[in-house]
Amino acid sequence: MAQLPALVDGVERLTDMMQAPPDAFVQARGIGKRFGALTALRDVDIDIRAGEVLALLGDNGAGKTTFVKVLAGAHVPSDGTLRIGGDTVRFASPRDAADHGVATIYQELALSENLKVAENIFLGHELVRPVLGVPFLDRAAMRARVRVLLGELDAHIPDIEAPVGSLSGGQRQAVAIARALNLDARLIIMDEPTAALAVAETRKVLNLTRRLAESGRAVVIVSHNIADVFEVADRMIVFRRGRKIAERKRAETDPDEIVALITGAHPDARVADQP
Amino acid sequence: MNHALRRNLVPVMLCVLWVALLGTLAATHAWILSPRTLTSVLQFATILSLAAMGMGLVVIAGGAGIDLSVGGTISLSAVLGMMGLGAGLPGYWLPMVCLGCGVMLGLFNGLLVTRLGILPLIVTLGTFYLFSGLALALTGGGAIAGVPDWAVGWGRARWGALPMPFITVVLPAFVLLSGLMALTSWGRWIVAMGDNERAARLAGLPVDRVRLMLYALSGALAGLGGFISLAWLGSARPNIGVNVELEALTAVLLGGVAITGGRGGLVGVVSAALLVVMLRTALLQIGINTVWQTGAIGALLVVALLVNRFSNSRG
């Protein structure tokens, strides 16, 4: 009977393979999250593929941010399984998620304003030359790497020795993205990446987003801005009342349908409205 | 106000205060500015500088960090060190016992802050009373004599006008800690978590562990201060740490550390500690009542807080 666990494992793998195309980098199945009596997320199945931009849409409180936090390791799901790159994972912290190639760029841009550009990009992953176990910073190497990263993103930050507090919104976005690139992220989650940006800067960030996907990374963006989403996303998923109620390819839908799904006017949205 | 000036308001004020103090003394009491005063200032500044560096790092690391218990830790670790000798420990253990007691007391603060999530102000106010109360209770208020001769010899020795404890403990500690802050990942982590704790946690920094270590470090430096007080005075006095927390906090804020964390450095802190002691020594030598000295330090603390408030807005 020693083969039985291996057999069960094999069958599980087989059913997983049947459920999703083999190239889905992230496979979330039956994800649920409860906070006490409140159910924030219920039975969510989502595939995220490398090389595509997936947009998560929904009203405030619809569950998209909760789902993203599960992906990012900020919340531990109450139910369901999460497979990333073929491994079943259970993230206890953002650090766990980062170790599996998941990087999150938060709405309020989690950067330290008093630290320099390079110090922010490398925070927690500094390039060091340890002397007797003491991690001495290798600033020259970090500066060189920052120039490469920013060049790759075609981002212009005139003074990389400046504190991040003195940069514009788009420049900060570029620093946050460079940080994700440096961590060799394979899934990059962007929470409202264009929310606080001027028009020209929004353009740049959307271009950056496409560029990330074209380089073979999986990108998830959470946004309220339908126009931005239609410009950048390959696929869209709409959340309502903690459930995934719709999944559409960009070519097969239009902004009106998506808005109807978000607001609950669309017939498909009624599913979530039953108690 | 000019942006650069605004950001550097506190260092500028510190320089102005130094120039004003030295200028006033040179004009009115020039005899005070002697090598003997230098010796005495450094002697008194030794314990304060250690406490202020520990407090400074705790404050820079943010999370409403503050260590009001440093004075109590100094007194209690000095008392416990001498009681250790009384209980039969060999004399050369004295520095280690004081240091170890400091670390344990600091860890106690750090655990209460990081594990139980109690506000540092409340925790260290409580432990301030606890530690200084214990020091008084254990000694019955009296001093414990019998510090080994080698320790007293070192504590009172000088190299030129410079007191030995200052050269052999404060300077190395200052160089070491400044180096850690400026040249290592740890220094960046401390600034980052004080600046934006959420960002630091999201970046995966071990925020709670670093904070625990900093409270332990603050305790260790206070413990060293306790040993230096023994070596200098030749006995353990349960009240040796009185008011050190007030002066250390003044030095920290006057030295340009933002009370909200994330900004400031040890150069400012130590030079402000020296200023505080210089001011006190000058008042003493001019013959102004000691009651007014504490008042003057308090006034300086209020001024430092005000200037801190104005330079803090990121405009």
ipTM of the complex: 0.79
Minimal Cβ distance to A110: which of B183, B202, B314 = B202
pLDDT of residue B138: 93
Q: What are the φ/ψ torsions at residue A57 (nearest 5 degrees)?
A: -125, 165
Predicted confidence band of residue A10 (pLDDT cuts 50, 70, 90): low
Give the ranges where chain A is alpha helix by DSSP (H): 4-19, 64-72, 94-99, 117-121, 139-152, 169-182, 199-214, 226-232, 255-263, 270-273
Q: Percentage of chain A with pLDDT > 70?
A: 89
At B113 the pLDDT is 96
Nearest-angstrom CA–CA distance, A46 and A36: 24
DSSP H or E segment with residue A248? strand A243-249
Q: With beta carbons less than 8 A apart as the criterion, state whether B81 and B236 touch.
A: yes
What domains, with CATH codes, occur in chain A?
Answer: 24-273 (3.40.50.300)
| A191 contacts A107 by C-beta, under 8 angstroms | yes
Q: What angle do CA B264, B71, B186 make, to 5 degrees?
A: 35
Contact across the interface for B180 and A134, Cβ inside 8 Å: yes
Report d(CA B187, CA B235) in Å as an integer. 36
| Chain B residue whose CA is closest to A111 | B199
Query: Is there a contact between B166 and B43 (Cβ–Cβ < 8 Å)?
Result: yes
Q: How far is B94 from chain A (nearest CA, A)?
A: 27
d(CA B207, CA B303): 31
User: Considering Cα of B19, then B23, then B24, then B25, what sign does the dihedral take?
Assistant: positive
**Residue B176 confidence (pLDDT) above 90:** yes
Asked whether the predicted pLDDT for residue A273 surpasses 70, the reply is: no
Q: pLDDT digit string (tens) for B89-130? A: 888 899 999 999 999 999 999 999 999 999 999 999 999 999
Contacts of B92 (CB under 8 A, 6+ apart): B148, B150
Q: What pLDDT is stored for residue B315 in this prediction? A: 36
Residue A202 C-alpha, separation from nearest chain B C-alpha, in angstroms: 23
Chain B hits for A114, Cβ within 8 Å: 191, 195, 262-263
Share above pLDDT 90 across residues of chain B, in percent, rounded to a whole number: 59
Pick B20 or A94 by higher pLDDT.
Answer: B20
| Size of chain A in residues | 275
Please state, in angstroms and rounded to a whole number, the distance separating the CA atoms of residues A229 and A221. Answer: 8
pLDDT interval class at A150 (50, 70, 90)? confident
The two tokens of residue B245 are 């927390």
Average pLDDT over chain B reads 90
- Of residues A94, A112, A124, nearest to B196 (C-beta): A112
Distance from CA of A1 to the nearest CA of B (A): 43
Domain boundaries, chain B: 38-306
What span, in angstroms and rounded, lies between the C-alpha atoms of A163 and B9?
Answer: 18
For residues A73 and B203, give the distance between their C-alpha atoms in angstroms, rounded to a whole number: 12
Buried b (16+ CB within 10 A) or exposed e, A114-150: bbbbbbbbbbbbbbbeeeeeebbbebeebeebbeebb
Residues in A closer than 8 angstroms to B200, CB to CB, are 112, 123-124
A-chain residues within 8 Å CB-CB of B183?
A: 136-137
Please name every residue paired with B124 in a beta bridge, in sequence order, or none if there are none.
Answer: none
Instruction: Suggest the residue from A123, A128, A164, A175 to mutate for an interface test with chain B (most B CBs closer than 10 A).
Output: A123
- A120 Cα to chain B: minimum distance (Å): 9
Nearest chain A residue to B196 by CA: give it: A112
How near does any CA of chain B get to the CA of A31, in Å? 22
CA distance A160 to A7: 55
Picking from A181, A75, A162, A63, the residue whose alpha carbon sits closest to that of residue A112 is A162
* A164, A111 contact by CB (below 8 A): yes
Residue A123 to residue B186, Cβ atoms within 8 A: no
CA A118 to chain centre: 22
pLDDT in tens, B181-213: 999 999 999 999 999 998 888 888 899 999 999
Kindly indicate the confidence band of residue B1, based on its pLDDT and cuts at 50, 70 and 90.
very low
Kindly report, residue by residue over A182-216, the tens digit of the pLDDT: 888 889 999 888 887 778 778 888 888 888 888 88
Phi/psi at A264 (5° precision): 95, 5
Give pLDDT, residue B3.
60
CB A213 within 8 A of CB A188: no
Q: Do A112 and B191 touch (CB under 8 A)?
A: yes
DSSP string, A68-111: HHHHHTSS--SEEEEEETTEEE--SSHHHHHHTTEEEE-TT---
User: Would you say residue B54 has pLDDT above 90?
Assistant: yes
Using CB atoms within 10 Å of the CB of residue A196, give its burial: 0 to 12 exposed, 13 to 18 middle, 19+ buried: middle
Is the CATH number 1.10.3470 carried by domain B38-306?
Answer: yes
Shortest CB distance from A137 goes to which of B185, B199, B204? B185
Selecting from B189, B191, B198 the residue whose C-beta is nearest the C-beta of A110 gives: B198
Q: Could you tell me the pLDDT band of residue B4, with boundaries at 50, 70 and 90? A: low
Q: How confident is the model at residue B5 (pLDDT cuts 50, 70, 90)?
A: low
Query: Strands A187-191 and A102-105: what pairing?
Result: parallel
Name the token pair of A165: 């507090």
d(CA B59, CA B250): 12
* A134-148 residue pLDDT tens: 899 999 999 999 988
Residue of chain A nearest B179, judged by CA positions: A136
Closest Cα in chain B to A134: B184
CA B47 – CA B233 distance, rounded (Å): 12
A166 touches chain B (CB under 8 A): no
